[in-house]
Structure 1
Amino acid sequence: MESDDDNCGCLTKRRKSSEKNLRSSTVNFTLAMTLPLGPVAHPEYFLGKRVLVTGATRGIGKNLVKNLHYLGAQVIACGRTDADLDTLCAEVSGIQPLIFDVTKWSTIERKLHSIGDVDFLVNCAGISYLGSILNATEEQFDEIFNTNIKGLFVITKVFAEQLIKRKAKGSIVSVSSQSSTSGIRRHGLFGASKAAVEAFTRCAAVEFAPHDIRINCVSPSVILSKTARHIWNKAKDSKGFVSKIPMKRFGEVHEAVQGILFLLSDKSSMITGCTMPVDGGFSAC
């Protein structure tokens, strides 16, 4: 069975965790069986549209690229290495690869001005540093903020400028995190960078709304990408973390993707400046 990194899962048939599993010392995160095309997204919203996806080679971004391609969109997939993009292109034929470093302002502007008109933007690129605030270094701080907010800021700025110049409407979705609003141990740098993403989203929503440009966020809990599933299967505190989520489980990649597709599409045509939790009720507590 393929992992959730490697299919376009839009509907899921999930094995229910038993109470016995929940009481065990670790939580067994089994793979989800997925089917193409779910109830949220419909091809009419994306057919023939050009969508720019950053962080497109892994996890949520990779799954999103596959869904958008399935729905008839023309996807421009951004990544940091040729190897990652080559792998993605081998799995999804017909997408347009674009390699650039999201931390380089001038490079971003040059690259985005070279790709032509784009209708939708999804900011999935991001990195994390999990550790004590007391142990954080200037290098780690700069790397996280340059990637998670500087790059996102510049890409969104250039995209919005192009839409306004064309007098075209558009939609933007960025990936945030539950650590943006909740105090979580060892998430000081990462949480601060994602809080900046949400603050920027609210301000941009107010500024862009008169131009018919919407911008929103999804804010996931732990999402079980291939890498995350491996990590959390071994983590000693996985049971404790899951116990704080009312739905008593972590999220699957396709569940975050469904939220992105909804906010990106005209199904959410009156929604802007919103951060949508995809966290099993964690933020409600």
Structure 2
Amino acid sequence: MRLRRAFSLGVAALTAAAGVLAGTATPAQADVAVTLANTIALSNCSASLVRFPTSVSTDSAMMLTNGHCYEGGFIAAGRVLQNVSSTRSGTLLNSSGGALGTVRANRVLYATMTGNDVTLYRLNTTFAALSSSYGATPLTLSAAHPVAGTSIAIPSSYWKEIWSCSIDGFVPTLRESTWTWKDSVRYDAGCDTIGGTSGSPIVSTVTGEVIGINNTGNEDGASCTLNNPCEVSSTGVITVLKGRSYGQQTYWFTTCVNSSRTIDLTVTGCLLTKP
């Protein structure tokens, strides 16, 4: 998983990180200019300020990151968290990666590492207040399943860099240690994300909307182990692609939002994993 691991990131990843910090990462080049604006740097992961398509300015702002970036540690397989108190804080960034200020969560709206790998926080302020204070504009979660071949950018608030590539395809089941994720996004070889990029939004450079969240990659070529996810086909065939990176889809959230603009797992067609 692509969180920052102080002791297990590895020499190769540290070397890659040095290259990224030196500016060798491929810049985002596409129809929509993707920057670091509205991303949020966490202590060991990346995150972003997001909204549902139906959100309004007076709603409580939301912060999106991975389930494995949850402050309580990795979430056990099969477990779902809802409406749990939180004090998680992060640094809201501007377009060039400069710090605008600290944002703080007061609740975990939803988190899991089963089926998907997401944590969605409610912040202790509104979208309108963040706009007034910092000029912040949340990224919109797309309501549509992404399409193979779409040009994407992955802005990491942790590294203050942007990876650019495209969607190579989708994996029926992605397995890593005890966790499995469904309909995962496989990037082309250009998105060799590293530790610390966990939780970065996957932004379509066609629409500017968030179509997924970066979460893992196969580091050593091992099969189905921690930091070495394997692809499992619909017939159970296991494939290992050393060096390839993956993300999880986020339109699932929009299938579970009710008329009050809150997550309701009983909504017909809701795709998020239930407790």
Normalized against structure 1, the TM-score is what? 0.29
Normalized against structure 2, the TM-score is what? 0.30
More strand by share: 2
Higher alpha-carbon Rg: 1
More helix by share: 1
